[in-house]
């Protein structure tokens, strides 16, 4: 027991040293040098290294090492272009890496959701729990062992007496008085308190990785097999439902094909853009309800799933659902043609793709008799692959590039270029704006594009100068200077709005108060 306690304390000291080292590194980066943005991604690499060095069990588990590989990938993705998605995926991967060595087998996503949630909640109080445990271990030591607590009564008299004498000497000796004043504890300031809060937050975060808090009990995944007794649900009712559903879906898909491919005119008063916007999301909801119907009524091993006719009708229906999802995507693309591309519309198209994959996985599960755990993991794997790819793709830059290439002002077709939306995209739109500025014909439109580009460029340069670094922002600025040359300089001009239209500044309310000059980047910002 004593040997085990000493080993635990030795391991604890290593982790404390690693945690304090990372806190010191964080203080240098985030407080002393005020580095933010992509620096958090590089800091995440240091956290990965600390976990590998302080936890031998992690080094011996290939699953944990695989999770750390993905954590490193997401940390670099965050350093490249900071965003909430790569940040969230990094912490999920770190949670997996620190918890996997204590699990015999992986299980499924539902169990891991519980483990990660419990681990995150317990980690908040982890340092306090370990401090209490360390105090209990020290109380169990033999009485003969020296301790500060037993020596304290002996030290009270000499310490207090020396302090009183030193204070009396300070009243008579200016040298001692000056030395004591220099040793005085400084008054707490807002900056020092913020620094202490940052230290505490970093330590809790790091300690949660180095000292994982496992969930003792997790809820098992419902297997979703065999017959489920539901009122009104029988082989006959499911068969009739599938026949009716297939007919309804066939009608909807036929009408979608006729309207989307121009084979039939839309109802009077409805434009193609209105039709595209109106139906995309309800159709996706219909597909999700269809997936739920199949999961509940055609479970592997049930009598309905074993019926050959029902299985064929389900396969046909899921196929029609995939066609329905495809028509929803086409509707969205038609809406993009009419009203330009946005990040949310790209995300909607990606979501539709995930829904289609999920439908096919449900069909495969029914045909092959796979478990509910298999279905959960398969869907999580497909979602994880997509989200990992999105970490490396700036959806805002994709939208900005598409809009600048297909704007009405460029090719005479499509939607008018929304410069305010490009300004809202910030650094994501910097390169597309610079290329549009270089290619557009001289005139009022090019002037407006140039003004918006300068406004976005000023914001990116300001963020970099204030410590909010990212590799992608530096690369974009360098590319702008290469493409525009001398034109990439930020020239002073009148204030203008997000559309690049010059506006006259309002006169000051108090005539005695002079107006603050503005470089024209916004109505009230200064470079």
Q: What is the pLDDT of residues 139-155, one digit of tens each?
A: 665 544 455 455 556 66
Rounded to whole angstroms, the Cα distance separating 426 from 281 reads 28
In a domain, 273, yes or no: yes
> What is the per-residue pLDDT for 523?
40
Rounded to whole angstroms, the Cα distance separating 125 from 138 reads 20
CB-facing half-sphere around the CA of 472: CA atoms within 13 A: 22
Mean pLDDT of 91-116: 89
Same domain, 96 and 44: yes
Rounded to whole angstroms, the Cα distance separating 342 from 253 reads 26
C-beta of residue 287 within 8 angstroms of C-beta of residue 326: no
Pairing of strands 468-469, 36-37: parallel
Indicate the pLDDT class of residue 278, thresholds 50, 70 and 90. Answer: low
- Of the chain, the percentage scoring pLDDT greater than 70 comes to 81
Same domain, 428 and 317: no
Same domain, 415 and 438: yes
Mean pLDDT of 9-36: 87
Exposure b/e, 476-514, CB count within 10 A at least 16 = b = bbeebeeebeeebeeeeeebbbbebeeeeeeeeeeeeee
Question: Which segment of 41-50, 69-78, 400-409 scores lowest on mean pLDDT?
Answer: 400-409
> What is the per-residue pLDDT for 277?
66
> What is the per-residue pLDDT for 179?
75
Please check the confidence at residue 75 and state whether its pLDDT lies above 60. yes
Rounded to whole angstroms, the Cα distance separating 123 from 115 reads 12
272 versus 28: the higher-pLDDT residue is 28
Rounded to whole angstroms, the Cα distance separating 29 from 76 reads 17
- From 312, 315, 331, 309, select the one nearest 252 (Cα to Cα): 331
Same domain, 370 and 459: no
In a domain, 187, yes or no: no
In a domain, 99, yes or no: yes
Question: Which segment of 20-24, 407-411, 443-447 scores lowest on mean pLDDT?
Answer: 407-411
Please check the confidence at residue 236 and state whether its pLDDT lies above 70. yes
- From 335, 318, 346, select the one nearest 253 (Cα to Cα): 318
In a domain, 420, yes or no: yes
Mean pLDDT of 69-88: 95
Rounded to whole angstroms, the Cα distance separating 143 from 150 reads 10
Same domain, 293 and 433: no
The verdict on pTM exceeding 0.85 is no
| pLDDT, tens digit, 9 for 90 and up, residues 161-185 | 777 777 776 776 677 777 767 665 5
Q: Answer with the one of 139, 154, 169 that is the final residue of a domain.
A: 139
Token look-up 């000796």 returns 173
Same domain, 373 and 245: yes
C-beta of residue 225 within 8 angstroms of C-beta of residue 301: yes
Mean pLDDT of 428-441: 90
Same domain, 406 and 299: no
In a domain, 447, yes or no: yes
Mean pLDDT of 479-503: 78
Q: Exposed, middle or buried by CB within 10 Å (0-12, 13-18, 19+), for 371? A: middle
Summary mean pLDDT of the chain:
82
Same domain, 242 and 385: yes
Rounded to whole angstroms, the Cα distance separating 293 from 297 reads 6
Same domain, 381 and 460: no
Q: Name, in order, each residue with C-beta under 8 angstroms of 446's C-beta and a sequence gap of 6 or more.
A: 437, 440
> What is the per-residue pLDDT for 504?
66
Mean pLDDT of 498-518: 58
Range of the domain at 425: 397-488
Tokens representing 268 are 């009077």
Please check the confidence at residue 469 and state whether its pLDDT lies above 50. yes
| pLDDT, tens digit, 9 for 90 and up, residues 113-147 | 899 999 998 888 888 887 777 777 666 655 444 55
C-beta of residue 15 within 8 angstroms of C-beta of residue 57: no
Q: Answer with the one of 326, 360, 393 that is the final residue of a domain.
A: 393
Q: How many structural domains does the chain have? A: 3
Indicate the pLDDT class of residue 443, thresholds 50, 70 and 90. Answer: confident
In this structure, what are the phi and psi dihedrals at residue 184, rounded to the nearest 5 degrees? Answer: -65, 145
In a domain, 155, yes or no: no
Q: Name, in order, each residue with C-beta under 8 angstroms of 262's C-beta and a sequence gap of 6 or more.
A: none
Same domain, 11 and 131: yes
Task: Output 292-296 pairs: Cβ under 8 A, ≥24 positions apart.
Answer: 293/241, 294/318, 294/362, 294/363, 294/366, 295/224, 295/362, 296/228, 296/230
In a domain, 165, yes or no: no
Q: Exposed, middle or buried by CB within 10 Å (0-12, 13-18, 19+), for 22? A: buried
In a domain, 132, yes or no: yes
Q: Name, in order, each residue with C-beta under 8 angstroms of 168's C-beta and a sequence gap of 6 or more.
A: none
Same domain, 403 and 387: no
Mean pLDDT of 215-243: 74
> What is the per-residue pLDDT for 520?
47
> What is the per-residue pLDDT for 194?
85
Same domain, 353 and 414: no
């Amino acid at each position: 027991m004593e040997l085990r306690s000493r080993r635990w304390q030795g391991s604890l000291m290593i982790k404390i040293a690693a945690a304090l080292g990372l806190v010191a590194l964080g203080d240098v980066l985030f407080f002393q040098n005020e580095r933010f943005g992509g620096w958090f991604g590089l800091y995440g690499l240091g956290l990965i290294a600390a976990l590998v060095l302080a936890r031998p069990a992690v080094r011996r588990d290939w699953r944990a090492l695989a999770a750390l590989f993905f954590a490193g990938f997401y940390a670099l993705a965050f350093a490249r272009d900071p965003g909430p998605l790569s940040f969230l995926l990094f912490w999920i991967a770190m949670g997996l890496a620190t918890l996997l060595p204590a699990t015999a087998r992986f299980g499924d996503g539902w169990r891991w959701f519980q483990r990660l949630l419990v681990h995150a909640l317990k980690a908040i109080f982890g340092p306090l729990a370990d401090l209490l445990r360390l105090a209990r271990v020290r109380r169990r030591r033999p009485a003969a062992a020296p301790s500060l607590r037993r020596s304290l009564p002996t030290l009270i008299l000499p310490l207090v007496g020396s302090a009183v004498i030193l204070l009396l000497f300070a009243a008579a000796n200016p040298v001692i008085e000056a030395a004591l004043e220099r040793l005085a504890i400084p008054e707490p300031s807002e900056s020092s308190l913020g620094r202490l809060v940052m230290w505490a937050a970093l330590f809790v975060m790091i300690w949660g990785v180095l000292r994982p808090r496992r969930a003792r009990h997790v809820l098992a995944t419902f297997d979703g097999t065999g017959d489920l007794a539901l009122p009104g649900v029988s082989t006959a009712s499911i068969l009739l439902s599938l026949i009716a559903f297939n007919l309804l879906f066939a009608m909807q898909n036929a009408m979608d094909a006729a309207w989307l491919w121009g084979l039939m005119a839309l109802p009077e008063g409805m434009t193609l853009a209105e039709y595209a916007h109106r139906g995309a999301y309800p159709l996706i909801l219909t597909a999700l309800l269809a997936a739920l119907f199949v999961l509940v009524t055609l479970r592997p091993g049930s009598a309905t799933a074993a019926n050959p006719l029902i299985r064929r009708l389900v396969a046909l229906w899921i196929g029609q659902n995939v066609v329905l999802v495809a028509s929803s995507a086409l509707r969205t693309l038609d809406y993009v043609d009419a009203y330009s591309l946005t990040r949310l519309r790209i995300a909607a198209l990606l979501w539709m793709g995930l829904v289609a994959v999920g439908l096919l996985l449900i069909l495969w599960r029914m045909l092959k008799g796979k478990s509910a755990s298999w279905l959960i993991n398969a869907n999580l794997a497909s979602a994880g692959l997509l989200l990992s790819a999105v970490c490396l793709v700036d959806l805002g830059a994709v939208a900005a590039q598409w809009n600048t290439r297909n704007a009405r002002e460029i090719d005479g077709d499509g939607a008018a270029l929304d410069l305010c939306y490009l300004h809202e995209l910030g650094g994501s739109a910097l390169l597309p704006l610079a290329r549009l500025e270089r290619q557009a014909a001289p005139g009022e439109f090019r002037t407006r594009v140039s003004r918006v580009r300068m406004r976005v460029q000023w914001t990116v340069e300001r963020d970099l100068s204030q410590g909010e670094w990212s590799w992608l922002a530096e690369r974009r600025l360098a590319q702008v200077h290469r493409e525009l040359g001398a034109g990439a300089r930020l020239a002073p001009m009148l204030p203008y709005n997000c559309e690049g239209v010059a506006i006259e500044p309002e006169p000051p309310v108090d005539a005695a108060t002079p107006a603050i000059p503005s470089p024209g980047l916004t109505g009230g910002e200064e470079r």
